[in-house]
Structure 1
C-alpha cells in the first residue's frame, strides 16, 4: 500500500527534505500571521480605549472599524476559491480527493483577509487560516519539489497539521489533528511527515511569537477522586452545548444564504461587522478571538456567575454570526473561550457546596475548553492534547479523559454531526 511506506530510499529522502523546508515556511508564514494579529489586537485596543473617551459619538468608531474589517476580509476572500471560512473543511475535502487544492491566490487571500477580519474584532480564530495556509504551502511544495501524487497529498495534509501547531504552539496537537480529524487513520509515512513538518514549523515560528505555551496557567492540582462524577456531568452538558453550537453555525450560514440576491456579500459582512463592533464598544471581551478572556479565566480572574452567563450567551451567538460573514477565520479559538466560560460557570454554580480548595475555577475552565471543542469538532484526543499543550495542565488528564468521553458520547446520542463534516458538505454543494 502506498500509504504504508515508512520513508526509506530516495523518494523518502526527497519527501522528508521537502517537508522540512516547507515546514519552515509554514512556521514563518503562520508565525508572521500570529504576530500581525497580536499587533492588530493591540492597535484595536488602543482605538477602543481612545474612542471610549469621546462619549456617545466614540461608540461609532468600533462599529465602523469592525464593519470595515469584515467587508475588506470578505472582498479579499472572494479573490480565491474556498478562502472564506475556516478552511479546515477544504483540507479534509482535498484529503478525500473530493476537490482540488487551489493553492494559487489562497495564501495571500487567507493572510490579508484573515488579518482584516480577525484583527478588526470578529469572533473568529487564527487557527483556520493558518491550517489552510499550511496546507497550501504543502501543495505548492509537493508540486515544485517533484513529489509523486500520493506524497504530494500527504504533504498537503501534514503541513495543515503543522499550521495548527504554529497557531497554538502545540506540536502533538497538530499530529493528533491530522490523524484523528483530517484523515481518521494512522499511516506511518503521514505520521513521520507530520512530525517533521510540525517540528520545523514550531521552531521557525519561535522567532516571531516565542515558544511559551499560549496560556500561562498556575499549578492546578489534580482534583480528588470523589469529584470525578462532576467532570462527567460537565462533559455531558458540554456535549449538549456543543451540539447546539454546531447547529447554530450551520443555521446561521443557511439564514445568511437567504439574503436578497441584490445584496453583495461584502455588504452582508459589513452589517455583521457592525453588530460585532457594537459589542466591542460595550466590552472588548465580548468580541475578538477570545484569548484574553480565556487567559483571564485560566489565571484566576474572578467573574460572577451572572457575568459568566452573559459572556457565554453573547459569544455563543456572536461566533456563528461572525463565521457567516464569509471572511477567513476559524472556529477553534472562539470555541476554547466558550469552553473556558462554560467550565468557569459550572464551577461558580457548584462551588458553594464544595469543600474549600477541592478544585479551582481554572481546573474547570481547562476541562471546559476540551469538552466544548470535543462536542463540536468530535475529535476528543485532539481537543485533550491541544488543551494540555496550551495550558500545561497535565495534572488534569483523568478529568479531561472522562469529560471528553462524555462530551463526544452525548453529542453523538443527540444526532449532532461533526461540524467540519457539515461544513465540508456545504462547501461541496455550494462551490
Structure 2
C-alpha cells in the first residue's frame, strides 16, 4: 500500500507542477544567461590580453618566449590536475549530459561548475582550438541540476530542468534561441513532449534574452552572402556535401587519433593538456588563423581571398591542432572549431570550382556557409540542428534550400561510411572509464519510486503491441499514456502506437539499469 501511496503522490504532483516547472525553467534560463554572459566576457578579456602580449613576446625574443611557455605549461598542468580529479568537466560536456539523462552519470554542480567555468575561460581564452559552446551547455545543465535538487523531483522534472539549462547555455553563447531548442530536442533527447518543449523554450528564450541585454543581439558571425545560390548549380552542392563529410570524418578521427597517441606514449592525464597549451603560443604567433576556436577564421574566409595552398594548409593545421587540443581532455567544445573546418573545406571546394570555371567567385561565401552546415551534420549527426544553427548564427536565411541539400548529402555520406556521432563515442569512452564505475557506485543507486515519461519510437519493440503483450521489467507500472493532446489511464489491452508517450512509475535499487531496460522497449 505504501508503494501505491507514493505512486499516487508522484502522479498528483506531476499534474500540479507543470506550470511551476515551466516557470522554474524560465528562472534557470535567466541565471544561465547571466552566467554565460560573464563567461563570454571573461574569455574575451583573456583573448584580448593574449593578443596584446603577442607583439611583446616577439620583441623580447628568447626570454619572453621561454617565460610565456612556462606560464602556459603551468596553466596546462592546472587544467590537467582538475580534469583528473573531476573527469566530468573534461571536454565540452554534451556527452556527460546524455549520461546523466541515462542515470549512469551524476553531476556535482557546486564543485564542478566553478572548475568548468575557470577551465573553459583559460583554455578557450589562451588559444586552444576549442569553442565556448560545449562548456556553456554544461554550465547551463549545472544550473538546471542545482535547481532540480530543491525539493523532491521526479525523473521527468529533473530532465526538463537540466535540458532547459543546457538550451539556455547554447542560446546565450550563440545568440541562437531557436537553434538551442532544436539542439535540445534532436541531439540531447531525439523526441518531443509538450512539457519538455515548453521548458526548453522557456530556458532558451531566457538565456538569449539575458545575454542579448548585456552583449547585444543578432548573428554572432555577421556575414551575409550578397547573392543567392543559383538553382542551376545545385548539383555542385552534392559534391560539396560529400567532400565536407570526409573533412568532418577526418575532424573526428584527428581527435581519436591523438587520444590514442597520448595513451600509446603513456602520457599521464595530468600532463596531456600541457601539450596543446604550449603549442598555442607558436600557433598564435605565426599561424593565427588556426588558433582559438575558429570564429576569426570564419570571418577571415568570408572577407579575404586565400590561395588554394594556403586554404589547404589552414585546414590541415586546424584539424591537427583541434585533435591535439580536444584529444588531451582540455576543457572546451568543438562546435566552433568544426564550423571553422567546414568553412575552410567549403572554401577549398569552391576555390577548385572557380579555378575550373564551374563557379563564379561571388559564390565563395555561400559555399563556406554550406560547408559549415555539412561539417556540423557529419560530426554531430544532427542535420536539423546544423541547418538552424548555421542560419541563425549567420543570418543567411535566403540560402536555406542549398543548405538543406548540402546537409542531407553530408548526412547520407557520413552514414554510408559509418561515421558515428561524436558525442555518442565520447559517452561510450566515459562509461568505460574508471570514473563511470565510481559514479555508478556513489550516485547511481537511488531507491524510491521514479516517474518517467518516455516516447514510443517508430521501430520500438513495444510499438503496435498491447501493453499485456510486452515483457516489462519488474517494479514498474504504466500509470498513464499520452496520445496527441489526450492523456488517459491505460489497461492491459491498450495498444501502444509510435509517438505515444508512456508515464511510468518504477522503483529499483539501480535506477540507471531499470531505465535502460525500459528505454530498450520504447526506443
Q: Which residue of 1 aligns with 2:425?
A: 422
- Determine which of 188, 194, 209 is the counterpart of 1:182: 188
Q: Which residue of 1 aligns with 2:210?
A: 204
TM-score (norm 2): 0.77
Give the CA deviation at 1:327. 1.9
Give the CA deviation at 1:124. 0.7
Structure with a larger share of its residues in helix: 1
Task: Determine helix, strand or coil for the equivalent of 1:78.
Answer: helix
Separation (CA, whole Å) in 1 of partners of 2:309 and 2:291:
18
Separation (CA, whole Å) in 1 of partners of 2:350 and 2:301:
11
Separation (CA, whole Å) in 2 of partners of 1:315 and 1:232:
24
Q: Which residue of 2 aligns with 1:379?
A: 382
Give the CA deviation at 1:71. 2.5
Any idea what the Cα deviations from partners look like across 1:239-291, whole Å, max 9, x if unmatched?
Answer: 1221222222122212213343xx54332221232123221221222211111
Give the CA deviation at 1:78. 3.4
Give the CA deviation at 1:233. 0.6
Are 1:158 and 2:161 matched, yes or no? no
For 1:197-346, what aligned pairs fall within 5 Å after superposition? 197-260=203-266, 264-298=268-302, 300-346=303-349
When the two structures are aligned, how many residues end up with a matched partner? 423
Task: Determine helix, strand or coil for the equivalent of 2:241.
Answer: helix
Give the CA deviation at 1:382. 0.3
Are 1:141 and 2:144 matched, yes or no? no
Separation (CA, whole Å) in 2 of partners of 1:350 and 1:419:
30
- Determine which of 51, 68, 77 is the counterpart of 1:71: 77
Separation (CA, whole Å) in 1 of partners of 2:64 and 2:349:
36
Are 1:118 and 2:124 matched, yes or no? yes
Separation (CA, whole Å) in 1 of partners of 2:391 and 2:66:
40
CA contact (8 A) 1:126 1:167 kept: yes
Separation (CA, whole Å) in 1 of partners of 2:178 and 2:328:
31
Separation (CA, whole Å) in 1 of partners of 2:363 and 2:70:
40
CA contact (8 A) 1:162 1:174 kept: yes
Any idea what the Cα deviations from partners look like across 1:326-362, whole Å, max 9, x if unmatched?
Answer: 2211111111111111111111111134478574221
Distance 1:322 1:296, change over 3 A: same
Separation (CA, whole Å) in 2 of partners of 1:252 and 1:264:
14
Distance 1:58 1:346, change over 3 A: farther
For 1:390-429, what aligned pairs fall within 5 Å after superposition? 390-429=393-432
Separation (CA, whole Å) in 1 of partners of 2:68 and 2:412:
41
Separation (CA, whole Å) in 1 of partners of 2:320 and 2:87:
27
TM-score (norm 1): 0.93
CA contact (8 A) 1:135 1:158 kept: yes
Separation (CA, whole Å) in 1 of partners of 2:357 and 2:37:
42
Distance 1:256 1:394, change over 3 A: same
CA contact (8 A) 1:279 1:287 kept: yes
Task: Determine helix, strand or coil for the equivalent of 2:331.
Answer: coil
Comparing 75-84 and 402-411, the one that deviates more? 75-84
Separation (CA, whole Å) in 2 of partners of 1:34 and 1:398:
32
CA contact (8 A) 1:34 1:209 kept: no
Task: Determine helix, strand or coil for the equivalent of 1:177.
Answer: helix
- Aligned-pair RMSD on alpha carbons? 2.1
CA contact (8 A) 1:127 1:164 kept: yes
Distance 1:64 1:303, change over 3 A: farther
Residue segments in structure 2 that go unaligned for 5+ positions in a row: 1-10, 436-523
Q: Which residue of 1 aligns with 2:510?
A: none
Give the CA deviation at 1:105. 1.3
Task: Determine helix, strand or coil for the equivalent of 1:326.
Answer: coil
Q: Which has the larger radius of gyration?
A: 2
Task: Determine helix, strand or coil for the equivalent of 2:270.
Answer: helix
Residue segments in structure 1 that go unaligned for 5+ positions in a row: none
Are 1:33 and 2:36 matched, yes or no? no
Task: Determine helix, strand or coil for the equivalent of 1:405.
Answer: helix
